[in-house]
Amino acid sequence: MSVLTLREAPPERLDFLNITPLSLSKLTEIEAARLPVGTSRRGLTLGDCFSVALDGSDTLVIEGGSERLDRVGAALSEGTIRIAGDVGQRLGEGMAGGTLTVEGSAGPFAGSGAIGGTITIEGDAGDHAGGAVYAARAGLDGATLVIRGRAGDHLGDRMRRGLLVAGAAGRHAGARMIAGTIAALAVGDHPGLGMRRGTLLVGRHGAMSPTFVETGSHDLVFLRLLARTLRGVSAAHADLAAGALRRYSGDLATIGKGELWAAA
Amino acid sequence: MGAWVKGGATDAGTAIEAAASLLAAARAPVVAGLSADLAAVRAAFHLAAASGASLDTAGAAGTYAELGALSRTGAMTTTPAEAVGRADLVLVVGQAPWRNPLLERLAAAGPSRGRAAGAARGLVALGGPPGAAADAYAVDPGGLAVSLAHLRAFAKGHLAGDAPYADLARRLYAAQFGVALYDPAEIGEMGVEMLQGLVKEIDETTRFFALAVSGAAGQDRAVVQLSAWTTGQAPRVGFGRGLPEHDPWRFDAARQAAAGESDAALWLSALPSPRPDWLDIVPTVALVGAGSPEAAAETAEIVIAVAVPGESADGVLWNEGRAALTYHAAASAGAGAPSAAEVLGRIRDRLTEQKGA
């Protein structure tokens, strides 16, 4: 288990794109300490902010986080990263595989464009969790993103594939979804606005867009499969999927092949 | 001419020296506002590159609502001149477009060219100030983006009935040349995307376009073009790592100030623009139009009055009526205040000299 220990709060935003167990496994501690992570002219290196202890394993622990730690686990393809603290924007952006766990909270755009692996945020997530960044093709794209706490607005915006589970979310959850599945115990106003396909499973919800129409209650095999899948992630979400649900179809402003299941 | 450093009046040379020192010592400087003529905005980009600063504009909220939707779904758009010449139906979305002078031109006469020439021009409001148009449709309680989604569902035939939006959708399809006016800052990225989707669907049977008109005057349209040909990116770029990195979230100047990330700023407002609140918490060099209310010691730590393009100096500005960059000659022979481009160039020269020393 390799360990990076934060010495003091970073003086600027740091970019952790190139800090993965795989990239560190081939380096000595002195070489790793020279990796650039700063985003200003000062040219901060990993060793300037963290003490570095490497053992060549596929597990990396970051002791002490900061909301200024951007792109942690972005481009992770194998191995494990655990952060004992908070992270900044774009956690696990474009991640292809492996396991990424944040014990604190994450900034915006967590899991954006991630195609594989599992991201778990024990605390809260910022806006656009599982959502697409500017000009990107899609948000969450095949990975599993679990947010134990509360997510901000635009959860899963333009999500394309994969599973997104959140304790609660703000407004416009599942906006412009291309496909995929989102489950949240509570969401704010206008969930699924502009969604094309995909499944939204929600407990409490705010105002519904007039472009969603109720299509009754159904007993579908899909819901039992969904409940079984969710059981391994969160019991509360699995219970929601197994309980009484009303189905809405939408968003009728688009091709309208999406569905929203709300607790009856 | 006016220049102030820490509240005391001084000459431009001293203020430029102080500005260069402030930016040179900063870890993460910000160059914001960018409300000026093209030469000054170009100089601001060069100064940002030399000082490792990031850039942001006064109208970024609207600019990114527009660019975000454009990058995802494209846009069907037209020019103000085409709208005046050809449109037989104008849908005005929200409140802000009513404050734009284009509305008066559209209301004054009907289309004179194209298929609809000679027809009467219908002016239809979706939302809008009370009494603005005879034909007004109420906004959904959810706001303009939800209203546009609702209207689009009727236009597609996915919703049916006698609802007001069903009637509005029929009128949009009946137009020979329709134009929807909107302010991207008012309806947001979700709203722009919904509107563009609606327009493209109507275009399968007739001609319809969306035209962004801002309620406020700004140079963002010019900045977007300059930024594209200078950096290959949209305006919110940072030069901290030497190369222009584009990140609309990270380089939001208000966010950077609130998070304590920026430690110095340059606010370029040779043309009037709203003074951002964060000038109070970040040490700032303000370049403001001579004679404007902001040309005073209390605006920022360092204040330099510059000539106002189109009034006391020549300059290339965004011409909203022609949707192009055009040359504006000075209205009066400018005496005294230097141009913003000149001041920015001198700050950059001093900055590189200090770095070399």
Chain A residues within 8 Å of chain B (Cβ atoms): 11-13, 38-42, 67-68, 70, 89, 108-109, 133-135, 158, 172, 175-176, 189-190, 193-194, 207, 209-211, 213, 251-254, 256
Instruction: Please give the sequence-ordered ranges of beta strands (E in DSSP) within B143-222, or none if there are none.
Output: 177-182, 207-212
Burial of A15 (0-12, 13-18, 19+ CB in 10 A): buried
Chain B positions in Cβ-Cβ contact with residue A13 (cut-off 8 Å) = 250, 261
- Residue A186 and residue A169 in contact, taking contact as beta carbons nearer than 8 Å: yes
List Cα–Cα distances, A212 to A146, A147, A161, A196, B192, in angstroms: 26, 26, 22, 12, 20
Q: Per the CB < 8 Å rule, is A209 touching B52?
A: no
- Residue A189 and residue A237 in contact, taking contact as beta carbons nearer than 8 Å: no
Write down the pLDDT at residue A264.
Answer: 87
Tokens of A157: 């915006």
Write down the pLDDT at residue B216.
Answer: 62
The H or E element that residue B10 is part of is strand B8-10
- Which position has the token pair 């499944």? A199
Strand B29-35 vs strand B54-55: parallel, antiparallel, or unpaired? parallel
A179-195: per-residue pLDDT in tens? 999 999 999 999 999 99
Q: Is the pLDDT of residue B41 over 70?
A: yes
- The nearest CA of chain A is from the CA of B84 a distance in Å of 29
Please indicate, yes or no, whether the overall pTM of this predicted structure exceeds 0.90: yes
How far is Cα A71 from Cα A14, in angstroms, rounded to an integer? 9
Instruction: Give the pLDDT mean for B267-285.
Output: 94
How far is Cα A221 from Cα B294, in angstroms, rounded to an integer? 66
How far is Cα B19 from Cα B121, in angstroms, rounded to an integer? 53
How far is Cα B255 from Cα B271, in angstroms, rounded to an integer? 23
List Cα–Cα distances, A141 to A132, A172, A187, A237, B327, in angstroms: 10, 19, 21, 21, 47
Q: Is the pLDDT of residue B1 over 60?
A: no
Instruction: Give the pLDDT mean for B144-167.
Output: 95
Write down the pLDDT at residue B174.
Answer: 96
Chain B positions in Cβ-Cβ contact with residue A86 (cut-off 8 Å) = none
Write down the pLDDT at residue B336.
Answer: 78
pLDDT band at A140 (very low <50, low <70, confident <90, very high): very high
pLDDT band at B354 (very low <50, low <70, confident <90, very high): confident
Q: Is the pLDDT of residue A6 over 90?
A: yes
A52-73: per-residue pLDDT in tens? 999 999 999 999 999 999 999 9
Residue A77, Cβ neighbours under 10 Å: how many?
Answer: 15
The three-state secondary structure class of B317 is strand
A37-51: per-residue pLDDT in tens? 999 999 999 999 999
- The nearest CA of chain B is from the CA of A40 a distance in Å of 4
> Which sequence spans correspond to the domains of chain A?
69-263
